[in-house]
Structure 1
Amino acid sequence: MEMLERFRVLQFAPLEKGMNVLEVGCGAHALTTVPLAYLVGESGRVVAVEVSRWRFFDEITTATGLKHRIIPLKVDARELPFPFKAFDLAVLVHGIRSLKSEETMVKVISEMLRVSEKVFIAESLPIANNERQRAHLELYNLREEIFEALFGEKDDLHYPTLEKLTELIEKAGGEVIESGTLEPDLPHYLAYIPREYVEKIKDEKKRAELLRRWDKAYEKWKRGAEHPPVGWLIVEG
């Protein structure tokens, strides 16, 4: 389902056969990498950047038969090792919320603009158009607080609005030339975080509050959750 959603999102990206594409934040499951490698064709290439999450990447890209179109690169996207515009397009799909701070978001977008002719960014939006989308958001929105209470730092930040994404892009020196939204119309259960995580929070008051909110959100989520709308933007430097 997740990879199908990536295919649907990428239909809005300015992709063509034979392109040299940079993907920032490919992740362990190559969810966007595989669709990109398919869409650029046999003469195209995808340079997939990730700092640490590579566990299933090789296995998945090999199984798809597209591994030869993909160049994995372990590097921090805040300091990309390319001295010039080496790519036709740089892509960041469902990854901006994992960058943990606005400063890092702006730096990464700035680097993408520096090394590519255009940038395509897509992210889930904090919008619910039905009860199933609302169920996803209510459980997902607990993740930031749970991780902060457990580990002392934010992770899986709340979904940004299109206006917020535009603001970050402009701070990075980019200009949005086209944007829009997509209704994936797909189930989406990745908001789930085990209740056992919440039970490990040491702060008794915070633990009790989050357990109460988790139980309430989970009751809605388990009846069915749906992918919220996705915002996408095409950017030039």
Structure 2
Amino acid sequence: MFFGEETFKREILSKIPPRNESPLPPNWLHLEMLERFRVLQFSPIREGMNVLEIGCGAHALTTVPLAYLVGETGRVVAVDKSRWRFFEEITSVTGVKHRIIPLKLDARELPFPFKTFDLAILVHGIRSLKKEETMVKVISEMLRVSGRVFIAESLPVATNERQRAHLELYNLREEIFEALFGDKDDLHYPTLERLVEIVEKAGGNVIENGTFEPGLPHYLAYIPREYVERIKDGKKRAELLKRWDRAYEKWKKGTEHPPVGWILAESSPLDYNFHTAEEED
């Protein structure tokens, strides 16, 4: 049991009603939010902090744990370009909406002229940025406006059959989206070494990193079979349907979150000294 987990479950998760989104279980959102809370235990977040979250997503999965952890005197600025469908509903029922400032904008060009935040967060979202160029730009912006960033992402490894079931179904998403729309989305999970490379390319100095096992079920590999059925290329459609059926049979028997890699980085010393000299002038 992680420190503070029972309090979090009692004060926040119990307020969220079950969801009817078959074949996902009614408590899938609660489990995903609990996983985000566990990830954030490795970050330096404290009460009273002003935190920037990139890629908050439709369900505020990381936003709510962040708002809980910063407390009444802290604030979370939640950024996403387009996915806001359930955001207000979920932040309202959990009772932390007043700690959150939502902003609809492109994270590649943040509208903050100086270091505004104590910490910038990107959890389970780097793969949705699609291209390395975008990843580097976004992380560079996070470092510019915060100075410290915490990034976490699932890793492409499995330590048991349930994790392998998740990866097998999840790894179809990139191909399915590319076949449907001609563009890759939900890229395969990066290795921790690859994450470090991207952060360093963005100008970050990695001061700490690690991995952990969430030890929770994980259902977000699921993509409806109907998506595959809409692929126009007959040969590709038949191939992906066969693979989807095989992977789904394993997935529905039990699926678990794979290990998660996390990184804490700060602006490079050169960048820090440059800004310090500017402030002294």
Give the TM interval when normalised to the shorter protein: over 0.9
Q: Deviations over 1:40-84 (max 9, x none)?
A: 111101000011111111111111111111100111000000010
CA distance in 1, matches of 2:208, 2:109: 26
Could you say which residue in structure 2 is the equivalent of 1:142? 172
Q: Deviations over 1:162-218 (max 9, x none)?
A: 011001001101011000111011111111111111111111111111111111111
CA distance in 2, matches of 1:58, 1:211: 36
2:94 corresponds to 1:64: yes
CA distance in 2, matches of 1:106, 1:130: 32
Could you say which residue in structure 2 is the equivalent of 1:104? 134
Task: Give the counterpart letter for 1:54 in structure 2.
Answer: W
Q: Counterpart of 2:142 in 1: which secondary structure?
A: helix
Q: Larger radius of gyration, structure 1 or 2?
A: 2
Unaligned runs of 5+ in 1: none
Percent of aligned pairs with the same amino acid: 83
Counterpart pick for 2:226 among 187, 196, 199? 196
Q: Counterpart of 2:147 in 1: which secondary structure?
A: strand
2:252 corresponds to 1:222: yes
2:74 corresponds to 1:40: no
RMSD over aligned Cα, in angstroms? 0.7
2:125 corresponds to 1:95: yes
CA distance in 2, matches of 1:199, 1:57: 30
Could you say which residue in structure 2 is the equivalent of 1:54? 84
TM-score, structure 1 length as denominator?
0.99
Q: Counterpart of 1:119 in 2: which secondary structure?
A: strand
Q: Aligned-pair distance for 1:153?
A: 0.4
Could you say which residue in structure 1 is the equivalent of 2:149? 119
CA distance in 1, matches of 2:242, 2:146: 46
Q: Counterpart of 1:87 in 2: which secondary structure?
A: coil
Q: Deviations over 1:85-138 (max 9, x none)?
A: 100000000000100111100000000000002100000000100000000000
TM-score, structure 2 length as denominator?
0.83
CA distance in 2, matches of 1:30, 1:213: 31
Counterpart pick for 2:42 among 12, 20, 41? 12
Off by >3 Å, runs of 4+ in structure 1: none
Could you say which residue in structure 2 is the equivalent of 1:28? 58
CA distance in 2, matches of 1:100, 1:147: 12
Counterpart pick for 1:208 among 238, 242, 260? 238
- Paired residues in the alignment total 237
Task: Give the counterpart letter for 1:29 in structure 2.
Answer: H
2:191 corresponds to 1:161: yes
Unaligned runs of 5+ in 2: 1-30, 268-281
Q: Counterpart of 2:211 in 1: which secondary structure?
A: strand
Task: Give the counterpart letter for 1:70 in structure 2.
Answer: I
Q: Counterpart of 1:164 in 2: which secondary structure?
A: helix
CA distance in 2, matches of 1:172, 1:31: 25
Could you say which residue in structure 1 is the equivalent of 2:19? none
Task: Give the counterpart letter for 1:139 in structure 2.
Answer: L
Q: Counterpart of 1:223 in 2: which secondary structure?
A: coil
Could you say which residue in structure 2 is the equivalent of 1:177? 207
